[in-house]
Every structure is written in C-alpha cells, then in structure tokens.
Amino acid sequence: MEKKQSLDSQYFKDIYEANEDPWNFETSEYEAGKYAATISVLPKQHYNKTLEIGCSIGVLTQLLAQKSNFLLATDISQKALDLASRRCANLNNISFKKLNFKDELPDDRYDLIMVSEVAYYLSPADWQMVITKLYEKLNFNGNIVLVHWLPEVHDYPQTGDEVHSSFEKIMQDRMSNVFSARAENYRIDVWEKA
C-alpha cells in the first residue's frame, strides 16, 4: 500500500483558485454549528495569545478574536489569508502570517492553539513531529484544541480519528484531556498543559 504524503501548498493553491470558499465555511449550517460548539467548549473565557493553524478564509478567526487579546492566524494559502484579512479588517487584535505548519511555527508561545480541520492534511509521520512542536509553543495551563471531520476523504493522508488518536498517544503523559466529544461527522478534543 502506498504511503500518503502530506499535502503541499500547490494543492491548496489549486483549491482556492477553483473556489474562494471551497468548504462553504460562510454558508454551511454544519460549519456554523461546529464553530459554535468549538467556541463554547474553550475552558477559559479569554486567552492572552492565540495561534490559529489553518485559518482559511477567517470565519472561525472572527470568533476566536473575541476570545483573544492577540490572535495570530496562519495558513498555507496566500489567497485564503487575503480573504481572511478582508473579513477581519475591523478587528485590530489579529495578525496574519503565511506558513506551512509542517515546516515552521512562529517563535512566540501561546495560551491557546487552535488546530481545526487541518492536521489530516499531514502524513502520520509529519503530524507526529508537529505535535511535539505545538506542545513546545504552548504556555503552561494553555490549551490545544483539535477539531476534525471524521469520514475518510480520499485526498487526505489521515482521518480525523487518526489525527486525534496519535495526539493522545504522544501527549497522554504530558497533557490532560479536559474535553472530548463526537458529533455525527466531527470530533473535538481539548487538551491542557498542566
């Protein structure tokens, strides 16, 4: 069986060239419900510094900004970042940065790291390396939130369950799972650095 590789920037460039809202983040009731559920389970009312991995067009970013003093929203696609920046133009506590989280993370440390619907784009080996890097970027008592679609997608190297299971396997002795829930098509896990 062929090992799937992490998806690269060209994959996402093609996706956003074909459609500016490829996953219907703006209009989907499913996405709206998932975002509301994600925000509602955050353990703290407010976070000083938040890192969002894979902000796409900025729909969840707007909600995270309300919970953060400072939010760094990142994505692999410049087009997605431009759209997110326009969407969030009235919010002055957000910065945007283009990066591929497989290869690079910001220098700062954060109180909340949001990994929503992006980790399954990485191969299992790449994701395992990123997990440790995310942990190192998290302040004590900080949270990492994982939210992922569960059904298998042909293009994606992993499923949502595989992403969450490998995180748990690597971090079970270093972090506490403070919330876990499954909906019909997605799951949310919230981890805390004790």
In a domain, 19, yes or no: no
Is residue 21 in a domain?
no
Number of structural domains (the chain) is: 1
Residue 85 to residue 107: CA distance in whole angstroms: 21
Residue 103's domain comprises 29-193
* Residue 144 CB partners (closer than 8 Å, separation 6+): 112, 113, 115, 134, 135, 138, 167, 175, 190, 191, 193
Each residue of 150-192: pLDDT tens digit?
999 888 999 999 999 999 999 999 999 999 999 999 999 999 9
**pLDDT score for 125:** 96
Q: What is the mean pLDDT of residues 38-63?
A: 97
* pLDDT band at residue 134 under the 50/70/90 scheme: very high
Neighbours of 158 (CB within 10 A): 23
Confidence (pLDDT) at 43? 98
Residue 78 has pLDDT above 60, yes or no: yes
In angstroms, the CA 52 to CA 99 distance is 11
Confidence (pTM): 0.93
- For 52-62, the pLDDT digits (tens) are 999 999 999 99
Asked whether residue 16 is assigned to any structural domain, the reply reads no
d(CA 71, CA 61): 8
Q: Is residue 80 within 8 Å of 57, Cβ to Cβ?
A: yes
- The answer to whether position 149 is within a domain reads yes
Could you tell me if 12 and 77 are in contact, meaning their C-beta atoms sit under 8 angstroms apart? yes
Say what the pLDDT of residue 1 is: 43
pLDDT of 184 reads: 92
Q: What is the pLDDT of residue 28?
A: 82
pLDDT surpassing 90 at residue 22? no
Q: Using 50, 70 and 90 to split pLDDT, how confident is the model at 98?
A: very high
User: Which of these ranges, 23-32, 102-111, 115-124, 148-157, has the smallest mean pLDDT?
Assistant: 23-32
Please state, rounded to an integer, the average pLDDT across all residues of the chain: 93
Domain assignment present for 128? yes
Q: Is residue 94 part of a domain?
A: yes
* 15 belongs to a structural domain: no
| pLDDT reported for residue 11 | 72
Q: Residue 77 belongs to a domain with what CATH number?
A: 3.40.50.150
The average pLDDT across 29-57 equals 96
For residues 188 and 180, give the distance between their C-alpha atoms in angstroms, rounded to a whole number: 6
Report strand pairing: 138-149 vs 68-75. Answer: unpaired
Does residue 17 belong to any structural domain of this protein?
no
Which pLDDT does position 194 carry in this prediction? 86
Residue 138 has pLDDT above 50, yes or no: yes
pLDDT of residue 96: 98
